[in-house]
A and B are shown apart, each in its own frame.
Chain A
Amino acid sequence: MSLQETTGVALKVATLQLCGCSGCHISLLDVGQSLIDLIKNKQIQLKYSQILMDVKNLEEKIDILLVEGCVLTEHDEEILKDYAGLAEKIVAVGSCACFGGPAAIANQFGRADVLKIMFPDSTFSRISNVPSHNLPTIHEFACPINIFVDVDFYVPGCPPESEILQDFLTAIVKGKGSFGYVKTVCDECPLKRTGESPSEIKRIVDVATLDPDKCLVEQGIICMGKMTMGGCGAKCPKAGAPCEGCRGFSLSLKEVSPSDAPEIKKALVSFVRRKNS
């Protein structure tokens, strides 16, 4: 039974932005006419969305909370917990909400180091140089949202393609909810593979003449397609750019055939060496 059928009225949806780039909201808008139709046909009712409407505080119960971004400040944490308490289902939209995203890459350096670059001088007469008057404190680590609340669905991607969000919305309106991808990006990639290993690992600036129809890994370019969750339609490799693994590990990674595994390892090892040499 779908949520909509149970309640008999429009699904109440709220979108919450934490620390992110708004790309997921833009991708949601890119759903375009279908989203407008869902709203017009009263299948979805938007209750709160800071970037799109003027509701300052969400005060009623909602069915679905779409969360974009990771948790980096005290304010992010508070508002996430508050709104999650009002929501029936919580959806982590995008790689920041699912895994932490770019802000979480900075975790390895320590927040103080990161902030020191931005606020180097002791402008204020206190220990920290970071502005703080009437502002939320910044956490040491940027965290995905499942550290703080129970997440019902994950929609990864940086940002999730609008087709994926459209499928997700349609599925959730129909009550199907869960949908996952077992395939990897490689499985969806139309580039031709012959099975040969690259003779050397190249940087993308080294090669002006890549064969646009041939697998990037086989041409010596590091591409994360083999271990990344599919669903995006392998858009980046199709355009000649290597997959950067924005959708996270594939659910089927365990099923990667043993013959593939050393290749990945070899590729990664040379990549790391190259970077550190």
Chain B
Amino acid sequence: MTKSVYVDPATRVEGHAKLNIQFNDAGAFEKVEFQCYEPPRGFERLFIGMIGEEVPRLAAKICGICYSAHCVAAVQAIENAWGVEPPEDAVKLRELMLLANLLQSHILHFTFLAMPDFLCDNPQEKNFVGLLNKHKELVESSVKLRAVGQKLTEILGGRQIHPATVVPGGMTKSLNKDEVEKITANINEAKVLVETLKNCAEKVMEAKASLLEKFGKIDSHFLCLQQKQHLTLCNADLELSTRDGRIIVMKPEKYSKLVRERVVDYSFIKQPYLDETGLEDGLIRVGSLARVNRCEWNNKLLRKFDKAFSRPSQSTLAYNIARAIEIEECLKRIEEIINDGVGKHFRETVKPREGHGVGIVEAPRGLLFHYYSTDRQGTVTEANVIAPTTQNALAIEKSADAAAQERFAGKTYERINRDDLNSIEMVVRAYDPCLSCSVHLVQIKRRVRKWKK
């Protein structure tokens, strides 16, 4: 009989999941199942029958960590469906929102969720309270840095979480002079604070080099938006970098032809994979590592990253360091946009019409797709959301499996301890899974669904 050891619940991750680590009769390790038991809340159903301009605000509520990403992806899809080009200043404001969101999300993960594994030894202390005792400066600067991101979201979106100002045709508000001054002051403060995080990332990279490089490493394809000279979170083409080093650039709409999904009986998450290569070789990954692998930013930490992992890197734990790089790049990009100036052309009247459209952005955890079709009055008739964690679902399971293979080699069922289990969780955490987002559709065939009164 197979014996199972459960890590239930997986902690320091968003949402509900457990790891089912299975051992065979002889007590030797067999496989890991990543079981997400976050129930689908049915957003795809809720959107149907709703007028298009209400969608972005409800879409934000899909996730309490990457709200702006859902909001912007949704509005892009609605605008795409209605054939609307948003005014240039609205595009800037939305990009700022995405950046602010990424800033807070990455810092939350880096300091509060990931770093305790690398900086605290005692299992009881592996949390931010434990971190507070030993690395007070890191925690306190992270708290301040997160506040910078959240204040920016509040200025742009009206609220810190679940922004309200995004509507098809633009934004309901722009930035006034006071707000720009406030943002500039905050960013200047943040640029000093971010040094603590960078130092921490650098130290961890040096101290745990071989662990970061090898543990839980898997071979996969990467998907991201094409990175320009700066951190690019929206308005770019889709880029697939395959395992054998080919780079394929395509229009975002092509995504649905690119992947297939499988449903497993033990998890509410569906598992997509690359159609062309099949399930075995079709593993895809999205997120900070995918972006950092393909970027050309001028960044000191990035050069060190290159030395340690040699890009394109397949190391799962390198995700953590990639996040630190992105935090700095994110601040740079916010400054760039603010210096560039945001004008008064942030809103236009739009006319709802029949159509269907795709919205695609880089959420903190990777590519995020929203798809809607609307009727003549702009009422949603069909909706689809593909969240980053869904796309990482198969990779999370495989990485945990690889980590367990290494950790449990020559070890039997009876001898595994809490440290072993935590190390498997650490690999899962590297993806920063966001399970509330993940339990959504990955739709392959377009179904025709008409909303009936």
Contact = CB atoms under 8 A, between A and B. Distances in A.
A55 interface: yes
A157 to B, nearest CB: 9
B165 A239 contact: yes
Interface centre among A32, A102, A205 (most CB of B within 10 A): A205
A103 B42 contact: yes
Contacts of B143: 32-33, 36
Contacts, number: 227
Nearest to B45: A114
Interface stretch (A83-91, A176-184, A206-214, A251-259): A206-214
Contact of A117 (B44, B147, B266): B44
A218 to B, nearest CB: 16
B16 interface: yes
Given A33-B140, A208-B349, A239-B158, A72 B41 contact: yes
A69 B167 CA distance: 27
B146 A241 contact: no
B165 A240 contact: yes
Contacts of A241: 57, 158, 164-165, 167, 172
Contacts of B377: 277
Interface stretch (B5-13, B193-201, B216-224, B285-293): B5-13
A53 B129 contact: yes
Contact of B39 (A32, A50, A73, A277): A73
A52 B13 CA distance: 8
Interface in B142-183: 143-144, 146-147, 150, 154, 157-162, 164-165, 167-170, 172-173
B267 interface: yes
Interface residues of B, number: 89
Contacts of A51: 11-14, 113
Instruction: Tell me whether chain B's interface is mostly helix, strand or loop, or mixed.
Output: loop
B388 interface: no
Contacts of B350: 205
Interface in A58-75: 72-73, 75
Interface in A15-32: 17, 19-27, 29-30, 32
Interface in B38-87: 38-46, 49, 51-53, 57-58, 61-65, 67
Contacts of B128: 52-53
Nearest to B262: A123
Given A27-B160, A72-B41, A158-B162, A205 B172 contact: no
Contacts of A72: 39, 41
Given A132-B265, A203-B51, A241-B167, 5 more contacts: A102-B61, A134-B266, A205-B167, A208-B170, A209-B347
14 contacts: A17-B16, A26-B161, A29-B112, A32-B146, A36-B143, A55-B11, A102-B41, A114-B40, A130-B268, A131-B267, A135-B37, A240-B158, A241-B158, A241-B172
Task: Name the 10 nearest CB pairs between A and B, nearest first.
Answer: A23-B64, A239-B158, A240-B172, A114-B42, A53-B127, A241-B164, A21-B64, A106-B42, A22-B64, A208-B349
